[in-house]
């Protein structure tokens, strides 16, 4: 009798859980994990489950490079802000760095040390984006790639750059190793946008090799 009662209770809990998940799915759509696992199956990547201190992430290969997609949350005191980011460390041959983001009302306020504003000669692209780089020649060579420009324009929000490491609370890289990095506010669950980001990273890394700023075999 007790066993039948326990079994019935367990079935009732499972049924309520399934109904709750179904309601949430109708309201909010597929979960992050569902979308990111689908991404893995479509681009041949690995879905890596995180622990207490680290969330789930996607790891994909582009040639010799490892591209990592994850999300993290920062507390601002009264609220929390979630960021989606994609990163790929690589050996930076010549120290070339750039930062690219969409123009806003406040775009012209900040200046980056050692960086200059660069226009590439594409009127539409120059109108919509700000590019800062420490080498005009290398920046022009990179962004003259039509595929890169097309993939960047497909992103509704973008901040793409080459950084020296993950910062004081992240991973410190060896000398000569930098990181191609994308980061935006919010959790990206658009499968087509995520695939386009992966394609963008692949194209940028390969182009960095062609212009002599990265090694094809890291």
| Tens digits of residue pLDDT in 126-175 | 999 999 999 999 999 999 999 999 999 999 999 999 998 655 445 567 77
Q: Mean pLDDT, the chain, as a whole number? A: 85
> For every residue of 104-143, which 3-state class applies, written as one string?
CCCCCCCCCCCCEECCCCCHHHHHHEEEEECCHHHHHHHH
Residue of higher predicted confidence among 171 and 82: 82
Closest of 185, 169, 190, 28 to residue 102, by C-alpha:
185
CA distance 22 to 31: 11
| Tens digits of residue pLDDT in 109-128 | 555 556 789 999 999 999 99
Residue 166: CB atoms within 10 Å: 15
Residue of higher predicted confidence among 44 and 79: 44
Residues 6+ apart with CB under 8 A from 195: 39, 42, 43
Give the least confident one: 19-23, 122-126, 192-196: 19-23
Q: Is 7 a residue whose pLDDT tops 50?
A: yes
146: phi then psi, degrees, rounded to nearest 5? -65, -35
Q: Is 19 a residue whose pLDDT tops 80?
A: no
What proportion of the chain, given as a percentage, has pLDDT over 70? 77
State the pLDDT at residue 115: 77
Q: Answer whether 196's CB lies under 8 Å from 151's CB.
A: yes
State the pLDDT at residue 169: 47
State the pLDDT at residue 165: 62
CA distance 120 to 108: 17
Q: Is 86 a residue whose pLDDT tops 60?
A: yes
Model pTM score: 0.81
Q: Is 83 a residue whose pLDDT tops 60?
A: yes
């Amino acid at each position: 009798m007790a066993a039948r009662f326990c079994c019935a209770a367990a079935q009732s809990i499972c049924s309520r859980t399934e109904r709750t998940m179904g309601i949430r799915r109708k309201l909010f759509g597929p979960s992050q994990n569902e979308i990111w696992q689908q991404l893995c199956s479509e681009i041949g990547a690995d879905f890596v489950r995180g622990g207490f201190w680290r969330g789930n992430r996607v790891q994909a290969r582009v040639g010799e490079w490892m591209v990592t997609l994850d999300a993290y949350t920062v507390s601002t005191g009264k609220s929390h802000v979630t960021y989606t980011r994609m990163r790929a460390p690589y050996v930076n041959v010549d120290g070339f760095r750039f930062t690219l983001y969409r123009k806003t009302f406040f775009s012209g306020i900040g200046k980056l040390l050692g960086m200059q504003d660069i226009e590439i000669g594409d009127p539409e692209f120059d109108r919509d984006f700000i590019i800062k780089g420490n080498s005009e020649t290398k920046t022009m060579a990179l962004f003259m790639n039509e595929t890169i420009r097309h993939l960047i324009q497909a992103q509704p929000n973008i901040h793409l750059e080459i950084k020296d490491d993950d910062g004081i609370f992240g991973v410190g890289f060896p000398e000569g190793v930098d990181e191609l990095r994308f980061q935006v506010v919010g959790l990206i669950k658009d499968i087509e946008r995520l695939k386009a980001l992966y394609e963008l990273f692949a194209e940028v890394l390969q182009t960095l090799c062609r212009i002599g700023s990265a090694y094809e075999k890291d």
